[in-house]
Chains A and B, each alone.
Chain A
Amino acid sequence: MIDSQTHANILKRALAGDVQAFEKLVSHHYDMVYRCGYRLCGHREDGEDVAQEVFIKVADKLHLFNNKSSFSTWLYRIAVNTARDYLRKKSRAAEVPYENGVHGAQDITDNPGRYDALLKAVDKLSPKLRETVVLVYGEELGHKEAAEILGCAETTISWRIFKAKRKLRDLLS
C-alpha cells in the first residue's frame, strides 16, 4: 500500500505530467472507484464500466484538480456523477439490481435476512438518498466529506440521512 506521504508525492508528479506516477495513482485508486460504482449501480459490469469512465475523465481533467479537496474526495465526486449518468442512461435506477445478495459470515447471530432486505430497500431509495446512504454507510465517510462530494451543505446530508432512515424503516416494516 501507499502511505499518505508517498501518495502526495505521486499525485504531485502526476499533476506535473509524469506518466508513471499517473499510472500508479489510477492503479491505486481503481478498487475504490470500482467498489463505489458497484455499490451505486449493482452489477460487476456496471462497476467496471463506471470505473473505466471515471478514469478516462481523470486522464482528461487531472490538470483541473486543484488540491482544494482531497484527491479521493475529488475521485468520489467524479464516481458518483458518473454512476448517476450511467444509471440514467441505462434507466435501471428503479430496478433492484443486486445480483449477489448478501453472503454473511456464519458467526453473526442476528437475522441475516434482515440485512439482505435492508440493502434491497436502500436500492429503492431515490438517487439522492441512495448516494448519500452509500457514501455514509457503505464507504463510511463523514458527513462533511459526503457533503463535499455531493456538492451540498453538511446539514443537507444529515437531513437526507434522517429521511433515508425513515424511508428504510417504512420499507422494511
Chain B
Amino acid sequence: MKLSDNELKKAFKRREIPPPDKQRRDDALRLATELFVQKKAMEKKKSKGFDFFRRLMGKVIHLLIPSKGDLVMIPKRYQYILVAGILLGVGYFTVPNLLMYQEQGKQADLEVRPEQEIGSVDSVDRDVPSSSDQVTTRANKPQAEAPLLQEQVARVVEQRSRITGDKLASPPPAPGKSVSQNVTMSVAKRMSEVSGGMARTRNGSEKGGMHGFVTPEPTEHYYKDEGRDQFEKIERNKIKLVSEEPVSTFSIDVDTASYSFMRRQLNNGVLPQKNAIRVEELINYFDYDYPLPDDKSRPFKPSVAVYPSPWSKNTKLLHIGIKGYDIAPTEKPRSNLVFLLDVSGSMNSPDKLPLLKNSFRLLVNSLSPEDTVAIAVYAGAAGTILEPTVVKEKAKILTALDKLNAGGSTAGGEGIKLAYSLAKANFSKEAVNRVILATDGDFNVGITNREELKSYIERQRDSGIFLSVLGFGQGNYNDALMQTLAQNGNGNAAYIDSLSEARKVLVEEASSTLFTIAKDVKIQIEFNPAMVKEYRLIGYETRLLNREDFNNDQVDAGEVGSGNSVTAIYEITPTSGEPGLIDNLRYAETPDTKKVTKSAEYAFLKIRYKLPDSDTSTLIATPIDQDSEFKEFAAVPVEMRFATAVAGFGQVLRADPFIQNFGYEQIIDISKQVKGSDEFGYRAEFINLVRLAQSATDM
C-alpha cells in the first residue's frame, strides 16, 4: 500500500483541533507574564545603584514640571533625555545652559552625558513597561532597592492587568498609542509618587533579596514584622558510648521547611539562626537516587554504607538511605483535598498571600479532573469559601482563589477544625484525603495554645485524613507551631519562599507531597560494641524516640510519600582506631573484639512502617557489615557523598563542635564533584548557598 506525503498532511489537516479553553489560555498567559515581571524585578535587583538616580529624577520631574499633563505631551524618549539634561544642568551648568540642553536634547543623548547618568537613564528606561530600547545597566550605587522595586512592579502589574485584561482575548493590537500613553502617564504618576513617598519607603527596606519569584501585590503598606520567627530550641545530639547505650531509635522526617527557610535567610545575606537548621531536613530536601524496591509489597528498601568521615580522621560515617516506592501515575488514587488558607492581616505581604495564591493555582492546574478541592479560609473567624468541587470545574476553583484578600486576626484553631470537617464530609476510602494548610503560623485567636492544637490534631490522626503544612513569609514565621502540627497530624511540612519552591513541592514532587506510601516509619539501630566505640546521630534531634517506642504501634512517627528519599547518617568511632572523645572507664570490662562472633558487623538496622491504611507495623531488618564499607571517601557512591556534604553544611551552620578542619571550601569541593545530573539545578543552587554562607560568615 502506498503512503504519500500528501496523504499524511491531509490526515493531520482534517483532524479538528478543539479550541483551548479561554480561561486556561488567559491563565497561562497571565501566569507567564507575572513570572516575567518578577524575573525582571529579580534581575534588576542584581544591577544595583540606579535607584538613587531614579528617585532624584522623579523629584526633578516633580519640581520642574508639576503638571503631569504637560509631561505626557512630550514624547517619552525625550522625557529621559530632558531629565538627563536637567541633571547635568543642575550639576554643572546654569539655567541658560539648561534651556539650551533642552533644545539640543537629542545630541546630548548621544554625546555628552557622563557615564553614570547614561546608566541611570537606561535603567529607568528598563523600568518602564513600554520601553523599546536594548539596554545595559552600568550605574553603581548599592542601596536597599529591592522592596521599593517590588512595590513598583506590583503597581505596574496592577495597571497592566487593568489595561490588558480585555485585550488578551482579542488578537494582539498593533503597538498602539493608547496603551503606551496610558503607561507613560502611569510612569509619570509613579515617579512623583516615588519621590513623594521616598522617605517612607526607604525605612525598613533593609530586608533585601529573596530567592526566586516572589509575587508582588499591589499593596501600599504591607504588614512588616521582623525578628519574631519562632523556632523550637534544638538540643544537639550527644555522643553516646555503645557500651552504655547500644541502641538508637528515631522517627524519620521528610519535611523540607528548614532548607528553604535557610535558603531565604542566606539569600538575604544573613546566616540563619541555629535553631532554624534541622540538619535532616537539609539532607532530605534533595532527591537521592537510591535503589528502588522491586515490588510495592515492601514499599522501600534501605541502602547502607560505612565510609570514612570527611571531617574527622578518627571517625566513620554510617549512612542509611531509603527510597520510597514510586506510585505509577495510573495507580494514583483520587485526591480529596481541602485547602485551608490563612487570610489574616499578617498574611498581607507580597511573599505571603499573593505567593500563596499562585502556588495553589499551580497545584490546581496539576490535579486530575476527578480530584476534588474545597477551600476554607480563616482570619478573625473561619469560613468555607468553596464547597468540595471537582477539578473539572477548574475555573470555579481558580476564581475562588483569586478573590482572597487578607485582613483581620487569626483564628487558626477554628480553621483547622473546619478543614477537617470538610475533609470528613467528602471522605472517600479509596481517595487520598488531605488537608493542606498554608499559613505563617501566627495563630492568635481561639485555640492558640500549642498543646491544645496538638491534642486536637492527634485525635484526628485516626480519621485517615493527612495534613500538609506549607509555611509562608518571614518576620513572624512560627516554625515551632508548624512542626507541631505536621509531626502530630500524619503530615509533612514545607516552607514556600518562592514560586519555584512552590513548583518543586506542589508540582514536581506532588506525588510525594500528596500520596503517602508508608506511615509511622521508625528506625532503630543496634551498634556492635566489638566494632563501634561511640556514635552520634546527625540531625533528627526533634525526632528521637525511646527504645521501647519502636515496637509500640501506638507511637506516632514520620510518613514517607511516594518516591520520597530519606537519609540518616551516624558518625561512629570504630574500636580499632584512635581513642574517641570519651575516655575508657577504669573499672569496666573492655569489650574483647575476638570473642564476639558477629564481629564483621558494625550494626543491625531495623525499620518499622505501617501501610497507609493499616494499624499494625511491618519490620525490615538488615545487618550493616564490612561488605558495605568503603575504605576511601572518593569511592563512595555519588548520592551518598552529596548527602554527606549537605550534612556537613548543616553542622557548620549550626556551629557544631564535632566538625573540625572542615568548612565551606571542603563542602563546595565535595558537592562539585558529585552534582550528578541535577535535572532541576537544586544541587547547583546548594553550592551557591554554601558560597553565600561563606560570605555572610566573613562579613
Give chain A's interface residues, CB within 8 Å of chain B: 1-2, 6, 9-10, 12-13, 15-20, 22-24, 26-28, 30-31, 34-35, 38-39, 44-45, 47-49, 51-52, 55-56, 58-60, 62-63, 89-92, 98, 100, 102-105, 108, 112, 115, 118-119, 122, 133-134, 137-138, 140, 165, 168-169, 172-173
* Docked CA distance A38–B18 (Å): 9
Q: Which of B622-639 contact A (CB under 8 A)?
A: none
In the complex the two chains form, is A48's CB within 8 Å of B135's CB? no
Contacts of B24 in A (CB 8 A): 48, 52
* Docked CA distance A47–B36 (Å): 22
* Docked CA distance A20–B180 (Å): 9
* Docked CA distance A38–B28 (Å): 15
Q: List 29 A-B contacts (CB under 8 A).
A: A16-B133, A18-B129, A19-B156, A20-B160, A22-B32, A22-B33, A23-B160, A27-B172, A30-B20, A30-B25, A39-B12, A44-B20, A47-B20, A48-B20, A48-B21, A48-B25, A51-B20, A55-B32, A59-B36, A63-B43, A91-B329, A92-B329, A100-B16, A102-B15, A103-B16, A104-B14, A105-B14, A119-B12, A137-B11
B37: interface (CB < 8 Å): yes
Query: Quick one: which of B175, B329, B366 contacts A6, CB cutoff 8 A?
Result: B175
* Docked CA distance A52–B134 (Å): 28
Q: Which of B114-142 contact A (CB under 8 A)?
A: 126, 129-135
B171: interface (CB < 8 Å): yes
Known contacts A20-B183, A119-B11, A137-B9: A34-B33 contact under CB 8 Å: no
* Docked CA distance A123–B5 (Å): 17
Contacts of A92 in B (CB 8 A): 329
Total cross-chain contacts (CB, 8 A): 160
In the complex the two chains form, is B25's CB within 8 Å of A140's CB? no
In the complex the two chains form, is B329's CB within 8 Å of A17's CB? no
For B130, the closest partner residue in chain A by CB is: A20
* Docked CA distance A103–B16 (Å): 6
In the complex the two chains form, is B12's CB within 8 Å of A52's CB? no
Query: Quick one: which of A30, A103, A134, A137 contacts B28, CB cutoff 8 A?
Result: A30
B27: interface (CB < 8 Å): yes
For B160, the closest partner residue in chain A by CB is: A19
Contacts of A138 in B (CB 8 A): 12
In the complex the two chains form, is A23's CB within 8 Å of B28's CB? no
For A57, the closest partner residue in chain B by CB is: B32
In the complex the two chains form, is B5's CB within 8 Å of A55's CB? no
* Docked CA distance A45–B18 (Å): 10
Contacts of B156 in A (CB 8 A): 19
* Docked CA distance A74–B49 (Å): 34
Contact residues of A: prevailing secondary structure: helix
* Docked CA distance A44–B32 (Å): 20
In the complex the two chains form, is A26's CB within 8 Å of B328's CB? no
B17: interface (CB < 8 Å): yes
Contacts of B175 in A (CB 8 A): 6, 9-10, 24
Which residue, of A6, A22, A90, has the highest number of chain B Cβ atoms within 10 A? A22
Within the complex, the shortest CB–CB distance from B684 to chain A, in Å, comes to 15
In the complex the two chains form, is A38's CB within 8 Å of B17's CB? yes
Contacts of B27 in A (CB 8 A): 52
For B34, the closest partner residue in chain A by CB is: A59
In the complex the two chains form, is B31's CB within 8 Å of A56's CB? yes
In the complex the two chains form, is A56's CB within 8 Å of B35's CB? yes
Which residue, of B36, B160, B366, has the highest number of chain A Cβ atoms within 10 A? B36
Contacts of A19 in B (CB 8 A): 33, 36-37, 40, 129, 156, 160
* Docked CA distance A28–B29 (Å): 10
Query: Quick one: which of B1, B9, B25 contacts A173, CB cutoff 8 A?
Result: B1
Within the complex, the shortest CB–CB distance from B182 to chain A, in Å, comes to 10
Within the complex, the shortest CB–CB distance from B616 to chain A, in Å, comes to 33
Known contacts A16-B133, A16-B135, A30-B28: A137-B12 contact under CB 8 Å: yes
3 closest Cβ contacts across the A-B interface?
A55-B32, A52-B28, A59-B35
